[in-house]
Structure 1
Amino acid sequence: MFCSIQNVIFANIILYNFFQMETKFQGTVKFFNEAKGFGFIKHEAGNRETFVHATGLIDQIQQDDRVEFEVKDGKKGENAVNVRRID
């Protein structure tokens, strides 16, 4: 089976867009140090935890807050961004 250059480019665009999608997650703030500006969020689904930095916050957060957030890849792993409290 032969692939045209157009098919290869199209497939690469589809894959790129797939991996760039932002999915919203919900979780609970496990820890947040306001003075240092970072903490961790535990995902509702599973045992996964994600680093959160103060620059990724929409609302102020504290330990045990329920939050909704998106995940982006950072230099050292995943970062929670667009973090907002939910009731």
Structure 2
Amino acid sequence: MATRQVGTVKWFNNARGYGFITRGENTDDIFVHYRNIQGDGYRSLSEGQPVEFDLLEGDKGLQAENVSSMATAS
């Protein structure tokens, strides 16, 4: 079962369509694929971008699904 998490994009490679998210210090990196980013059209993430996501344990480790950008306070 997925649990909703908050994290920051560590890096994302637009050409390859994947990257990693961190949840803070001393935690494993979380794999994210472009197909799991919410939104229409071109889906990408930027380094340092705050995101919300569902955390799942996949065959190869932790992975993020239903990834969405978090609104920042203004």
Whether TM exceeds 0.5 here: the answer is yes
SS of residue paired to 2:35: helix
Alignment of 1:3-18 (within 5 A): none
Which protein is richer in helix relative to its size? 1
- In the alignment, is the contact (CA less than 8 A) between 2:37 and 2:65 conserved in 1? yes
Q: TM-score, normalised by structure 1?
A: 0.68
The root-mean-square deviation of aligned C-alpha atoms, in Å, is 1.4
> Following TM superposition, where does structure 1 have runs of at least 4 consecutive aligned residues deviating by more than 3 angstroms?
none
- Structure 1 unaligned residues grouped into runs of 5+: 1-19
Please list every run of 5 or more consecutive structure 2 residues that lacks an aligned counterpart in the other structure.
Answer: none
Amino acid at match of 2:36: G
Greater gyration radius:
1
**Which one has a larger percent strand, Structure 1 or Structure 2?**
2
Structure with the greater relative contact order (CA < 8 A, sep ≥ 6): 1 or 2? 2
Percent identical pairs in the alignment equals: 38
What TM-score does the superposition give when structure 2 sets the normalisation length? 0.78
